Amino acid sequence: MIFFVTMIVFSPITSIIPGIYATYLMFKNKGKIEKNYLNIGLLVLFIWSLIVAIINESVLSFLGSSMLLMYFAIGFLGQRYFISIRRIHKTFKYSIYLTALTAINGIIEKGVYFYIFRKTGEFSNPFNDRVISAYGNPNMAGAWFASAIFIALYLRAITSGKKQKNIYTLCIAIILIALLLTESSGALVAFVAAFICYYVLKSLKDKRKMIILGLSIFTIISMFLILESKGDSKAVFNELRISFSSRYDIWTGSLKMIAQKPLMGWGTLATLEHGKEFFYNNGNSIHSHNIYLTFWVSTGLIGLCMYLYIKLKMFKDLFKLYKTKEPLVPLLVALNVIVIVQGLVDCSLYAPQLGILFMSTCAIVFNLSHGKLKVENKRKRKYKGNVIKLEAKTIVI
Reported as a single tens digit per residue, the pLDDT across 217-276 is: 778 777 776 666 555 555 556 666 666 767 888 898 899 999 999 999 999 998 888 878
289 closest CA partner among 260, 259, 258, 248: 248
Give me the mean pLDDT over the 360-375 stretch.
Answer: 91
d(CA 294, CA 271): 9
Q: Does residue 320 carry a pLDDT above 80?
A: yes
Q: Which residue has the higher pLDDT, 222 or 343?
A: 343
| Domain-wise residue ranges, the chain | 2-396
Report the Cα 157 to chain-centroid distance in Å: 22
d(CA 153, CA 195): 10
Quote the crossing angle between the two packed helices 16-28 and 66-81, to the nearest 10°.
Answer: 70
Give me the mean pLDDT over the 333-353 stretch.
Answer: 92
pLDDT band per the 50, 70, 90 thresholds, residue 7:
very high
Q: Are 96 and 153 in contact (CB under 8 A)?
A: no
Give me the mean pLDDT over the 306-328 stretch.
Answer: 94
Q: Are 295 and 304 in contact (CB under 8 A)?
A: yes
Q: Does residue 356 carry a pLDDT above 90?
A: yes
Q: Does residue 388 carry a pLDDT above 70?
A: no
pLDDT band per the 50, 70, 90 thresholds, residue 3:
confident
Read off φ and ψ for residue 246, nearest 5 degrees.
-70, -35
d(CA 30, CA 35): 14
Q: Are 15 and 352 in contact (CB under 8 A)?
A: yes
Q: What is the pLDDT of residue 387?
A: 42
From its phi and psi, is residue 82 left (phi > 0), alpha (psi between -120 and 50) or beta?
beta
Residue 162 neighbours by CB under 8 Å, 6+ apart: none
d(CA 225, CA 338): 20
Q: What is the pLDDT of residue 226?
A: 67
Give me the mean pLDDT over the 285-309 stretch.
Answer: 93
Q: What is the mean pLDDT of the chain?
A: 84
pLDDT band per the 50, 70, 90 thresholds, residue 170:
very high
- Lowest-confidence segment of 88-102, 190-204, 260-274, 361-375 by average pLDDT: 190-204
End-to-end alpha-carbon separation of the chain, Å?
A: 5
pLDDT band per the 50, 70, 90 thresholds, residue 373:
confident
d(CA 109, CA 119): 16
pLDDT over 90 percentage in the chain: 56
Q: What is the pLDDT of residue 248?
A: 83
Q: What is the pLDDT of residue 318?
A: 95
Q: Does residue 390 carry a pLDDT above 50?
A: no
User: Can you give the chain as a three-state secondary structure string?
Assistant: CHHHHHHHHHCCCCCHHHHHHHHHHHHHCCCCCCCCHHHHHHHHHHHHHHHHHHHCCCHHHHHHCHHHHHHHHHHHHHHHHCCCHHHHHHHHHHHHHHHHHHHHHHHHHHHHHHHHHHHHCCCCCCCCCCCCCCCCCHHHHHHHHHHHHHHHHHHHHHCCCHHHHHHHHHHHHHHHHHHHHHCCHHHHHHHHHHHHHHHHHCCCCCHHHHHHHHHHHHHHHHHHHHHHHCCCHHHHHHHHHHHHHHHHHHHHHHHHHHHHCCCCCCCCCHHHHHHHHHCHHHCCCCCCCCHHHHHHHHHHHHHHHHHHHHHHHHHHHHHHHHHCCCCCHHHHHHHHHHHHHHCCCCCHHHCHHHHHHHHHHHHHHHHHHCCCCCCCCHHHCCCCCCEEEECCEEEEC
